Chain A
Amino acid sequence: MSSNSLRDHFSAYYEGSLEPGLVVVLENAFRTDSGLKAEYERFSETLDSLGHMAIEDIPIPNFLSDRIQSRLNVEAPKARWYELVWIRQLGFTAVAATAIIGAVVAIQSKDSGTVAQAGVATSNQPQVSTQATDILKVSVEGGNATATFTGSTSKSVIVTDHESQKLLKKYDVTAGTVQIGLENPGAEAFVFQVDVTGEKRPTLVVVPPVTRSTTSDLKGTGGVIDLLKYVSDRFNVHIQITADNVKDTVRWDGIKSTSANEILEEVLPKNFTIQESDGLIVIQDR
């Protein structure tokens, strides 16, 4: 057998998986060919050194999530983003709901007492359910929003910045409840996206800033979400929306309405329903 053919068996010999007959052939060759033997020794040293690769510490850059999400936002099939449906599998018999959500930049996890970098808030109240397996409640009290999710099976509640799709917080809920308090310390309204695994549509929550800006620089035309941010900022209201076509273009410049409800009813397409309760405006498409 030639040296080249013998080299083909170096790895198997090193790993001890070479069949016995070839082991004898190779070891005989080593005895008669010192060059081949030296070559194998260097080969085995190389493999020894490769073992160190596995323990190399590779830090994960903090921009990785953003990089992935922004690429997905740009290149993923656009329809997918708004196919998401909220509370698809609840199976509840009756829901009298007013939903509420708070907004973000610092999420306080009430179950753990920890404060995260950014957050979302949702509240829903009251929901009357006799068979519900998963329920999201959003409530607003004293201008503060709290989201309460109760799941009967393992679910993840994922809160993202709707505009950038940056992940703010993820909660894994296993047959239990998680409460998430939301604050928006920013200078303008913030839109939180709340996704629950298994649900196709997210719930979006627009939260006004704690300190309102005196003037809003939002233009009088844009998407539905732009309008909601304008209304939230101007009238200091929390808005929850669950709808497919939030990218529809609407115009609100020149509208003279003096309340949030009025301007929404006047500007939003007629397939949206608008309800208000306890400081939360809930919008859904029909």
Chain B
Amino acid sequence: MSDNFQADAMLIERVQRGDRASLNELVLKYQDRAYQYAFRLTRNPEEAADTVADAFVRVNNAIKNFKGQSSFSTWLYRIITNCYLDRKKKEKNRSTVSLDAPINQGDDEVLRDIEDPGRTPEEDVIRNEREAVLQRALAKLPEFQKAMIVMYHAEQLSYEEIAEALDLPLGTVKSRLNRARLSLRELLEKDAELFGTAVSQES
């Protein structure tokens, strides 16, 4: 058992007894990592921070039931993912139209191309073209597929850790992740047709 796992176990035990200071310590220890994951899902600082705040509230409410069968970080990934999916579900239930949603024009669906208003032209120039293309495609993936891609490729979780975090069998994680990558490749090809860019090209 790693030192970090043991340290977390002791901390969590104290939080389970109602020790607020230990909760603060746990939050401090994991908030940056949690934010980075949430940001990679949302690409929006405000939304990412809200997602992380939601997640820690859920952690606090549910920690008495945490048995330590997985690591705390894996459990936190699960909670953040659920918070993110819940937020997206609520957004879809509202009457407004998502900027990411396809515009129905009959036979073919055309994807909206609306610039992120929070980004300056200078930042756009600096931004690595390959990353921009990739993010555009990721944003169009179904949320669950995007979460899996981000967990594996950005957060560098193993298949086993993703299986724990999402409570799925290992084989299911592998097949779904393969499907997500295939979908991403298709989106990147569509993007290249629309914008004349390819994810593989060097900027």
- Chain A residues in the interface with B (C-beta under 8 A): 7-12, 39, 42-43, 45-54, 56, 58, 60-61, 63-65, 67-72, 75-77, 80-81, 83-84, 156, 158, 160, 167, 170, 195-200, 202
Residues of B within 8 A of A69 (CB): 24, 27
CB-based contact B19/A46 at 8 Å: no
Known interface pairs A46-B184, A58-B39; 5 further A-B residue pairs with C-beta atoms within 8 A, sorted by A's residue number? A12-B174, A45-B200, A68-B31, A72-B53, A199-B21
CB-based contact B24/A167 at 8 Å: yes
CB-based contact B21/A158 at 8 Å: yes
CB-based contact B22/A46 at 8 Å: no
Q: How far is the CB of B40 from chain A (nearest CB, A)?
A: 7
For residue B175, CB closer than 8 A to chain A, the reply is yes
> Considering the chains assembled together, what is the distance between the CA atoms of A56 and B138 in angstroms?
15
Residues of B within 8 A of A70 (CB): 53
Do A50 and B153 contact each other (CB < 8 Å), given the known contacts A11-B178, A84-B18, A198-B22? yes
User: Taking CB as reference atom, which chain B residue is nearest A58?
Assistant: B36
Contact of A200 among B19, B25, B156 (CB under 8 A): B19
For residue B149, CB closer than 8 A to chain A, the reply is yes
> Considering the chains assembled together, what is the distance between the CA atoms of A8 and B54 in angstroms?
36
Q: How far is the CB of B202 from chain A (nearest CB, A)?
A: 11
Could you tell me the dominant secondary structure of chain B's interface residues? helix
> Considering the chains assembled together, what is the distance between the CA atoms of A63 and B23 in angstroms?
18
> Considering the chains assembled together, what is the distance between the CA atoms of A64 and B38 in angstroms?
12
Do A49 and B199 contact each other (CB < 8 Å), given the known contacts A68-B53, A156-B25? yes
Contact flags B74-105 to A (C-beta < 8 A → 1, else 0): 00000000000000000000000000000000
User: Taking CB as reference atom, which chain A residue is nearest B200?
Assistant: A45
User: Taking CB as reference atom, which chain A residue is nearest B17?
Assistant: A200
> Considering the chains assembled together, what is the distance between the CA atoms of A36 and B150 in angstroms?
26
CB-based contact B153/A54 at 8 Å: yes
Residues of A within 8 A of B156 (CB): 54
Interface contacts (Cβ under 8 Å), in number, total 150
Contact of A46 among B39, B56, B188 (CB under 8 A): B188
Residues of B within 8 A of A197 (CB): 11, 14, 19, 21-22, 25
For residue B20, CB closer than 8 A to chain A, the reply is yes
Residues of A within 8 A of B20 (CB): 80-81, 83-84, 195, 202
Q: How far is the CB of A41 from chain B (nearest CB, A)?
A: 9
Contact flags B53-79 to A (C-beta < 8 A → 1, else 0): 110110011000000000000000000
Residues of B within 8 A of A7 (CB): 178, 182
> Considering the chains assembled together, what is the distance between the CA atoms of A75 and B62 in angstroms?
13
Residues of B within 8 A of A198 (CB): 14, 19, 21-22
CB-based contact A64/B35 at 8 Å: yes
Residues of A within 8 A of B175 (CB): 8
Residues of B within 8 A of A64 (CB): 31-32, 35, 49, 52
Do A65 and B31 contact each other (CB < 8 Å), given the known contacts A58-B36, A156-B25? yes
Could you list 23 examples of A-B contacts with CB < 8 Å? A45-B199, A48-B200, A49-B130, A50-B134, A50-B184, A51-B153, A53-B153, A54-B155, A56-B131, A60-B36, A70-B53, A71-B57, A75-B61, A80-B20, A80-B60, A83-B18, A84-B21, A156-B25, A170-B25, A195-B21, A197-B11, A197-B21, A197-B22
